[in-house]
Amino acid sequence: MGVRGVLLIGGEEVVGSQAGVYAVNPATGAELETAFTGAGDGEVSRACTLAAAAFDAYRETSQSVRAAFLRTIGEGIVALGDELIERAMAESGLPRPRLEGERGRTVGQLEMFADIVERGAFLGAVIDTAQPERKPLPRPDLRLRRIAVGPVAVFGASNFPLAFSVAGGDTASALAAGCPVVVKAHPAHPGTSELVGRAIQDAVKKCGLPAGVFALLGGAGNAVGEAMVRHPAIKAVGFTGSRAGGLALMHIAAARPEPIPVYAEMSSVNPVFLMEHALADDAALLAKGFVDSLVLGVGQFCTNPGLAIGVEGDGFSRFAAAAAEEVAGRGAGTMLSPAIHAAYTRGVERLASCDQVTTLARVEEVSGSKGAPALFAIAAADLLAKPELGEEIFGPSSLLVRCNTAEQMQQVAEQMEGQLTATLLAADADAEALRPLLQILERKVGRIVYNGYPTGVEVAWAMVHGGPFPATTDSRTTSVGGGAIERFLRPVSYQNLPPGLLPEVLQDGNPLKAPRVVDRTAE
């Protein structure tokens, strides 16, 4: 099929009006051949306006049509075959098995949302029937359903070129909710984006949906994305990326004449708490598991464990020594882009040169684009005094925090910003010590992992990939798992609407067989 460097708008391939980007192979630093054109204001406006025009028809498509559409996208992605995998490898430096796995995850997400759409619980139907005899006033008939919020702007993430990019979790959940989607392609993988975008565009056609349901825009710099978020047709934003990027979009959205929600998943250091008895039992084994998680994917996961916290003592020392040895034995890996590599190197240098920080292990960099694992240590008192030393360094670097007491470990937890995850490495005998810590962590994080590692985010209904700020801009939401659809729905109540005008899901007899709550009882 080949990539052509185009935008996808209104069911067509469009040559952008702006100079765009070249993809760069991060392993070699070489530009790949196709020049990708960028969107100007006219193209942004056209894509958003078409999305608005498609909205009413798309949001009222039947559950079966929408589910079939999501599955057709998945089939289209699979049908792209090896061309997609090879392009993604070239653009991201990620290895084949990882990208094949990520493709499976992407298709699986689309399938999960198709299933959720078919089940209908997401429609949130609630009915309070009339009580004409009630005194002093009769109660009207009230029927509530949820409808899609409107066109959504989605920003592809660099670290998941398939599962959190053009047809990733944000797009899949927004389309499932009934929202047209306008995607801003991540400039690090424009070819991968175009291929997947074309699969979605084809699915729109195959399923007979309005062309405005999907558009793919690209371009260098921030102008395209900012124009998307400012466009009055856009009613919500999905973003995964840096804290600075997410905050910038949030402030643009809040300053609009009509403010809109921005669901930004941004920054997390994913602390690992090393409990006394677990360290006593298994320090070396835990250290190996920890380092496996740390260096997985060259540390480029949102849930990468950037902090490990324990009380000093024999077990902690053995953990530190074993982790240092493990890190020293791991190789450097190609990072997603030269910019990410440069930021990682700066972050590691900053820690290494800090008086309060001890370098436990640092792998030598073999080439200019490879991220080399690193492990540092700091006393808890120093981290409490300088919390900025615990900030996220995106890549395979972690900081061990040495506490004097269990209370100090709680203090470190209490001072933490919001996180996607917290991990507890614990033995049965640690249970009582965990209770106060758990209470703190529940306030701070979206997911608590017990005797596992934070990387590896299961796509499930009970997943929370979210958390208090700055992990996300909206702690009530998740961007992975079934709950992600909630972000793109809002309730509408119908009072005494006659049967012929009621949405099908609210009609007497429940013709859609959707889960409903009628007079406070689940139906």
DSSP assignment string, 114-165: HHHHHH-GGG-EEEE--BTT-SSSPBPPEEEEEEE-S-EEEE--SS-TTTTS
Q: Could you tell me which of 253, 511, 299, 274 has the C-alpha nearest to residue 398?
A: 299
Task: CB nearer to a second copy: give 71 or 198.
Answer: 71
Task: CB nearer to a second copy: give 349 or 458.
Answer: 458
Q: Is 380 exposed, middle or buried (0-12, 13-18, 19+ CB in 10 A)?
A: buried
Shortest gap between Cβ of 468 and a second copy (angstroms)? Answer: 7
Annotation marks residue 265 as catalytic: yes
In one-letter notation, the amino acid at residue 410 is Q
Task: CB nearer to a second copy: give 115 or 226.
Answer: 115
Catalytic-labelled residue, pool 43, 91, 265, 417: 265
Q: Could you tell me which of 380, 399, 397, 392 has the C-alpha nearest to residue 418?
A: 392
Task: CB nearer to a second copy: give 335 or 485.
Answer: 485
Task: CB nearer to a second copy: give 131 or 367.
Answer: 131
CA angle 470, 474, 480 (to 5 degrees): 95
DSSP assignment string, 378-396: EEHHHHHH-GGGGS--SSS
- In angstroms, how far is CA 209 from the centroid of its own chain? 27
Shortest gap between Cβ of 1 and a second copy (angstroms)? Answer: 29
In angstroms, the CA 180 to CA 194 distance is: 18
Catalytic-labelled residue, pool 102, 302, 392, 417: 302
Task: CB nearer to a second copy: give 498 or 509.
Answer: 498
Shortest gap between Cβ of 333 and a second copy (angstroms)? Answer: 21
Q: Could you tell me which of 304, 54, 66, 28 has the C-alpha nearest to residue 177?
A: 66
Annotation marks residue 302 as catalytic: yes
Shortest gap between Cβ of 294 and a second copy (angstroms)? Answer: 18
Beta-carbon neighbour count of residue 45 at 10 Å? 16
Shortest gap between Cβ of 279 and a second copy (angstroms)? Answer: 18
SS3 19: strand
Catalytic positions, please? 265, 302
